[in-house]
Amino acid sequence: MKRSLLVVAVVSAALLTIPQTAVARPAAAPCAAQTNCWWSLAGFTGQSATWQAPRPPGSCASAPNAVVRSYAFYGGQEGYFYRSNNCTGESRAVLANSESADLGFDAYSFKSACVSCKVNAGTLGGRQTTSHRP
């Protein structure tokens, strides 16, 4: 009996000295539900801007911080981020309820559009985000 208690005590002491490794979790965008957010740097960092109401379809807006590198759209907004400041040229499709820690380029404008309409019709080309939140 004494030997069993000694083994339990030694094993318990050994377990207490083993360093615990934290499990890495993916970074989540610090953006509230029903809100759309932009950041000037990758990883949801840098200067940020938020809005709640979707922009009118077809409207082109310049990036509020001069540049957008990451975003989280939890407010129902869809559209395209553009490398130019006038919603032309290279773009990245953005679905509602999606986020991206890095667009892959510095975006200078955003055009509101029904991206899911094109996805459902099978006509969307290029890079596209995936939905992360309902």
From first to last of its 134 residues, what are the pLDDT tens digits of the chain?
554 443 334 333 333 333 333 333 335 678 888 888 999 999 999 999 988 777 888 999 888 778 999 999 888 889 999 999 999 999 999 998 899 999 999 999 999 999 988 666 555 444 444 443 33
Q: What pLDDT is recorded for position 66?
A: 84
β-strand partners of 99: 72
From CA 17, how far away is CA 96, in angstroms rounded? 47
Strands (E), 74-128: 79-82, 91-94, 98-100, 109-112
Q: What pLDDT is recorded for position 29?
A: 74
Q: What pLDDT is recorded for position 85?
A: 92
CATH of domain 35-121: 2.60.20.10
> Domain locations in the chain?
35-121
Q: What pLDDT is recorded for position 90?
A: 95
Q: What pLDDT is recorded for position 28?
A: 66
Block residue for tokens 């957008």:
68
Q: What pLDDT is recorded for position 121?
A: 55
